Amino acid sequence: GIQVEQSPPDLILQEGANSTLRCNFSDSVNNLQWFHQNPWGQLINLFYIPSGTKQNGRLSATTVATERYSLLYISSSQTTDSGVYFCAVVWGTYKYIFGTGTRLKVLA
Amino acid sequence: EPEVTQTPSHQVTQMGQEVILRCVPISNHLYFYWYRQILGQKVEFLVSFYNNEISEKSEIFDDQFSVERPDGSNFTLKIRSTKLEDSAMYFCASSEGPITYEQYFGPGTRLTVT
């Protein structure tokens, strides 16, 4: 089956710093989303981005489907950005296959 | 903005009991899903549902589990005879269409089996 790997697995930042999170997938995909899981466990949808680039405030994402990766950029990080970031892909059928996650901690 | 809702937010049950987790998908969506996340692990697909039948299920979704759309708005996941290892966060999701359509996730139900 498809492998969805995220890097880095853990990241600690000072407030105000920028970061790039990466999602690599081992096969062509039909869909890709980025999620933020907050400390209460809720999954917050960040981007629906099967290809191209999108921006929403301090966050932006780029997916290069032909090269099988996606990047999530966080600029001017805030403590509320802390949590786990997942990418998820649809491969072949209906279901999302989630990546391994990047655990981000932003220090004040 | 329309959203997927789930009830309860937290459920505690004893081993061997049956639980029903409830979801209200976005009203014009036709595809419905359940996912599970054991604490500290990644989110895993359980089942997808369309046109009143299961369209795909994972190996996790065995005879202990069932799904139903009892009316025009609710989508439920039933777990019969719960086990300790069923303790997890359960997420419901819905989409307008399959495969290339965005899935919208609910806030989750945290199930604790004691």
**Domain boundaries, position B74:** 5-113
* Residue from B9, B26, B105, B112 whose CB has the most chain A CBs within 10 Å, to mutate: B105
As to burial, measured by CB atoms within 10 angstroms (0-12 exposed, 13-18 middle, 19+ buried), residue A94 is: buried
The whole-angstrom distance between A17's CA and the closest CA on chain B is 26
Average pLDDT over residues B52-71: 93
* Residue from A46, A91, A94 whose CB has the most chain B CBs within 10 Å, to mutate: A94
Q: Is B91 on the interface with A (CB under 8 A)?
A: yes
| pLDDT score for A95 | 84
CB atoms A88 and B43 under 8 Å: yes
Total domains in chain B come to: 1
A93: pLDDT strictly greater than 90: no
pLDDT in tens, B93-110: 999 988 788 899 999 999
* Average pLDDT of chain B, as a whole number: 94
CB atoms B42 and A43 under 8 Å: no
Considering the segment(s) A4-103 as one domain, its CATH architecture is Sandwich (2.60)
CATH of the domain at B42: 2.60.40.10
Cα B56 from Cα B75, distance rounded (Å): 16
Cα A33 from Cα A13, distance rounded (Å): 23
Question: How many alpha carbons fall within 13 Å on the CB side of residue B62?
Answer: 8
Q: pLDDT band for position A51 (50/70/90)?
A: very high
Cα torsion for A2, A72, A22, B98, to the nearest 10°? 0
Most confident residue range from A85-99, B15-29, B94-108: B15-29
Q: pLDDT band for position A94 (50/70/90)?
A: confident
Poorest-confidence range of A69-83, A88-102, B16-30, B32-46? A88-102
Cα B27 from Cα B4, distance rounded (Å): 9
State which residue of chain A sits closest to B96, comparing Cα positions: A94
DSSP for residue A39? T
Which 11-70 residues of chain A touch chain B by CB within 8 A?
A: 30-31, 33, 35, 41-43, 45, 48, 50
